[in-house]
Structure 1
Amino acid sequence: MNLWTRAVRAELRKLFTTRLWWGMAIAVLLSGAAFALLFAFVFTSAAVEGPQGAGAPTTDGALAKSVFTGGLQIGYLLTLSVGVLTIGSEYRHQTITATFLAVPRRVRVMTAKVAALLVIGAFYGVLSLAGAVGAGSLALSAKGHAPFADSTIWRTLALSLLVLGLWALIGLGAGILIPNQVAALLISVAVAWIVEPVLGLVLALTDWGKSVSPYLPSRATTAMLDTSTGGFDNQPVAQLSWWAGALVLTAYAVVMAGLGTWRTVRADIS
C-alpha cells in the first residue's frame, strides 16, 4: 500500500471514528425522504390545480427529478460543513502539525483530503438518494405518476453524488481561507443558503444579471441535476445545460480547493 493510499485512509478514518458521521448520515437520510415527500405533495397538487401550478414540472420525468433531488438542498449544506470541519478542526485543535509530520509532503496530504471528501460526498449522496428515491417513488406511484418514466433520471441520480462531493471541496477551501473554524462554518452556510440564492433572485430581475445568474453555484447545481426547481425558489430563470452546470460547479470546487491547497503548502505550521 503506497503512502497516498494510506493518507486517504487516514483522512477517512478521521471522520468515521467520530460521532459526527452517523449523526449526519441520519440527517441526510431523513431529510432526503422528508423533502421528497414534501416536493411530491406540492408538485402533484400544483399539477392538479392547473394554471396556479405553472412553476411545477409538467412531465413525470421532470417531476421525479425534482422530487428525488429535493433533499440535496440540505445535503450539500451538510457536506459543505463537513468540508469546512475537515480542515478547520485540524487548525483549531492544532492536529495539523502531527498530520504534516506523519506525511511530510503537504501536497500529498491535501490531495488525500480531496479524495476523501469526494468519497464522503458520494457516501452521503447514496444515503440521501436512498431516502429520497424510496419515499418519493412511493408517493409518486400513489398519485398515479411513473417515477422512472424518463431514462435521464439515472444521470441525475449519478450526478447527485458528484454534487455533494464538489460542495465538500468548496467547504474545504473555505475552511482554509477563513482561519477561524466557527466563522468559516457560519459564513459558508450563510452564503450558500441565504446570500447566494437571494443574489441569484436579484440578478434575475435585471437584463445583465440574467446572463450572470446561471453561473452562481446553486444555479449551476440546479442545471447539473437537470431540474427547474432545484434551488431555493421557483422563479423561472435562464439555466445552463446539465454538462455546463457540471463544469461550472467543478470549477468552483477546483478554485476553492486549489487556493486552499496553495495556502496550506506555503503557510508556516507551528
Structure 2
Amino acid sequence: MVGAIRSELRKFFTTRMWWGMAIGIFVGGALFAAFFAYAFTSDLAGQSGGPGGMPTGDAEQIANSVYTAGLSIGYLLLLTIGVLQIGSEYRHKTITGTFLATPRRVRAMLAKVVALLVIGAVYGLVSLAGSVSVGAVVLGLRDVDAFPSTQIVRTLALSLLVLGLWALIGLGIGILIPNQVAALLIGIGVAWIVEPLASVLLGFWDWGAQHVVQFMPTQATNAIVNAVQDGSGTARLDWWGGALTLTAYAVVLAGIGIWRTSRADIA
C-alpha cells in the first residue's frame, strides 16, 4: 500500500503541472486575501448585521474569510486534479499498467485517495502561505486584529481537509464521467456556476433557504471555515456539520467510483 501511494505521489509531483498550480494557488490566495481584508474592513460598522445581503460577521469570521479566501480558487484546482488523477490514466491508457503494478484494484484506488488527501494538504499549505502572510499585513495596516481568536488555527487546519475532500469529489466525477474533457467541464461548471446560481434561486424560497442551501458543497465549505455570511438569512451548518456534509459528498462520489472501477473491464 505504501509503495502504491508513493507511486501516485510520484506521478503527480514529477510533472510540471504541480508547481504551475502551486504558483496559481499561492498568488490567488494572496490576492484574494488582500481584497477581502480591504473590503471587509472598509466599513467596520457593517460587521454586526449589514442589510440587503451585505456580508456580515464578527472579527473572527472576517479573519477566517481573509485567510481562506484562496479556497475559492483552490477547491476548483483540486477538483481538476482529482479528475485528472484518474481521467489521464484512462485517456493515455496507463490505467492498465497501474493495475498490473497493483493487481488489487481497490488497493490501487485507495492509494489514489490517500495521495489526493496529501496533495490537498500540500496545496492548502501553499494557499495559506500566500493568504495569511498578505492578509495579516493588510488587516494590521487597517488597524484590525489579525488573530482575534485561537479558533482561527482550527479553521486553517480544516482548510487543508477541505481541499483534500474536493480532490476526492473530482476523483469520483472523473470515474463516473469517462470522457476527461467532459468531466472537467461538468465538474467545474457545476461547482463554479450551477451550484451558486441554484443557491441564489433557492434562497428566495424560505424552506429552501433554511433546509437545502446549507447542504450544498460550497455552502458546506463556507461553514467549515466559519466564513462571513452574505446577510441573506440563509441557514448555515456548524463547522462540524459542514465537514460531515462535504465528507459525505466525497465518500459517496469517490466510493461509487472506486466500486465501479473495481468491477469494470479495462481495455
TM-score by length of 1: 0.94
Q: Which amino acid aligns with 2:36?
A: F
Structure 1: which 5+ runs fail to align?
A: none
Q: Which amino acid aligns with 1:94?
A: K
Residue 63 (structure 1) shift: 1.2
Corresponding position of 2:235? 238
Report 1:1-270 matches (<5 A): 4-47=1-44, 54=51, 55-210=54-209, 211-229=211-229, 235-270=232-267
Residues in 2 aligned to 1:181 and 1:59: alpha-carbon distance in whole angstroms: 42
Residues in 2 aligned to 1:115 and 1:77: alpha-carbon distance in whole angstroms: 19
- Does the 8 A contact of 1:8 with 1:116 survive in 2? yes
- Does the 8 A contact of 1:76 with 1:163 survive in 2? yes
Distance 1:133 1:177, change over 3 A: same
> C-alpha deviations, 1:190-233, integer Å up to 9, x for none?
0001101111111111122121110010111111111134xxx6
Q: Give the stretch that moved more between structures: 188-197 or 207-216.
A: 207-216
Q: CA RMSD in A?
A: 1.6
Q: Which amino acid aligns with 1:154?
A: V
Q: Which amino acid aligns with 1:61?
A: E
Residue 234 (structure 1) shift: 6.2
Residue 170 (structure 1) shift: 0.1
Q: Percent identity?
A: 59
Residues in 2 aligned to 1:50 and 1:200: alpha-carbon distance in whole angstroms: 23
| Residue aligned with 2:206, SS | coil
Structure 2: which 5+ runs fail to align?
A: none
Residue 51 (structure 1) shift: 9.4
- Does the 8 A contact of 2:48 with 2:58 survive in 1? no
Residue 49 (structure 1) shift: 7.0
Residue 156 (structure 1) shift: 0.6
Q: Which amino acid aligns with 1:217?
A: P
TM-score by length of 2: 0.95
Distance 1:153 1:98, change over 3 A: same
Residues in 2 aligned to 1:140 and 1:244: alpha-carbon distance in whole angstroms: 29
Residues in 1 aligned to 2:84 and 2:205: alpha-carbon distance in whole angstroms: 37
Q: Which amino acid aligns with 1:75?
A: G
Residues in 2 aligned to 1:68 and 1:181: alpha-carbon distance in whole angstroms: 32
| Residue aligned with 2:147, SS | coil
